[in-house]
Structure 1
Amino acid sequence: MKRLPFEPPTKHYDTSIQHIDEQLCNLLNKRKEQSNDPGFPPLEKIVEWSMKYNLYEDFLSSFFGSLLLEEEFRPRIEPEGFLKHVPVLKSVEVGENLYTITFIRQFENASVVHLTMDWYEPDDSRHLRPRRVRDHAFLQLEIDEKYDCRTTGGGGSTGHMTYDFVVSPPLPDDVSGLILTFKEYSTPFKNKPTGMEIVISISEDNSRERS
């Protein structure tokens, strides 16, 4: 899903507080430099700071929660200049689910990895919500540190789901030797991993799973 352009909520700005806003930016940068995994303040600290600095507790909770999502606002590469499809057809079975990389779309500035997830849904359960809709988790792709990977969402029907992952810079046309790791999270963000990983090695005849 493409990110919508940001529009300021108001045209008004009190320039007399500009130096304070800059100090806030400076403090945020120092916070990042001091810890690459700051976590979330204890709730008793949220209560203490709200009283000390005359701020709402929910506002502070929302503020510190948003700091955990900074990576989600990294500038995104949108695939442009379609080149070709690279067939892959590698699968791994994890529990009741079969994960398959069917193909990789090559663009001039990025690649798109297409992953499918299939499972057996009994006929007598078709009138209910599909199992994976009820137990839905989120997948994130990791390759190695030189590639930036993000999911563009997924969709599907009973017994079937599809996911697309944008990778930049583009993957090589010869993807043999490539190892793709899909990690499962209970939220759309990388802050609550379930511990389950699907590892697909394109260089091997059979994919492998690690959990």
Structure 2
Amino acid sequence: MKRIPFNRTTTHYDERVTQIDEKICELIKQRKEISDNNPGYPPFEYITNWAEKFTLYEDQLKSVFGTLWNEEVYRPIVEPSGFRLNLPVLKSIEINNQIYSVISIRQYSNASVVIFNKDWDNTNDFLDNKLTHTTFELFINEYYNCSMISGAGGDGHFHYNFTVSPPLPDDFSGVDLIFKERFIPLIENKTGIEIVIHL
């Protein structure tokens, strides 16, 4: 999603803590390196003990570690610019009576935008107590950064726009678009549904 610019919460800053703040940044980097950038989330009992030991608020620590765990949401998002052309895709797959499709890809000078759709029979939606809110992540390979920039829908249809940078080649034959569904809020467990659109 497009990110709201972050503004400083106050103009006050005590320069005496500068070295401590720099050390915090160094420790975050060290934490990523030791864990191969997959540190997970500490058990709540650890957080409770640390809060007591260092006289801190538990919920504040939970928020800090939640921010550190979900690092990818802070990756800079490329804003598409310099529109070039629309490339038709017209690929779909059906899973559990739901149609997932990519109709087209918009090509820009600095990125691609993949338009992903989900369609289903919604006549029983209000009767289904198991309905949950989900979203999707797009993965191609380590070379491409993918971010969802918008999504909306209802009444049996959802659509999502993903930026891909650097842009996909105009001849994208052989590329696999892998869409992974996950619950909202963004907890670790995914729904298990993985949609692969082979271009």
Both structures adopt the same fold (TM-score exceeding 0.5): yes
Unaligned runs of 5+ in 1: 203-211
Q: How many residues are paired up?
A: 198
Question: Out of 159, 163, 170, which is 2:156 matched to?
Answer: 159
The residue number in structure 2 matching 1:64 is 65
Query: Hey, what's the Cα distance between the residues in 2 that align with 1:177 and 1:201?
Result: 7
Amino acid at match of 1:64: F
Displacement after TM superposition at 1:134 (Å): 3.8
2:173 match: 176
1:140-151 equivalent positions in 2, closer than 5 A: 140-151=137-148
User: Normalization by structure 2: what TM-score?
Assistant: 0.93
What RMSD in Å do the two structures reach over aligned CA positions? 2.0
Contact preservation (8 Å) 1:138, 1:188: no
Structure 1 CA distance for aligned equivalents of residues 184 and 118 of structure 2: 18
8 A contact 1:88–1:101 mirrored in 2: yes
Partner of 1:96: 97
Q: How does the TM-score come out when normalised to structure 1? A: 0.88
Is contact 2:114–2:162 with CA below 8 Å preserved after alignment? yes
- State the shift of 1:70 in Å: 1.6
Aligned position for 1:21: 21
Which residue identity is paired with 1:19?
Q
Aligned-pair distance for 1:188? 5.6
* Matched residue, 1:11: 11
Return the offset for 1:56: 0.8
How many Å apart are 1:184 and its aligned residue? 1.0
SS in structure 2 at match of 1:196: strand
Offset from partner CA, 1:103-148 (integer Å, 9 cap, x none): 00000100000011111123xx58x49x6x9422111111111000
Residue 19 of structure 1 aligns to a residue whose secondary structure is helix
Question: How big is the shift at 1:190?
Answer: 7.1
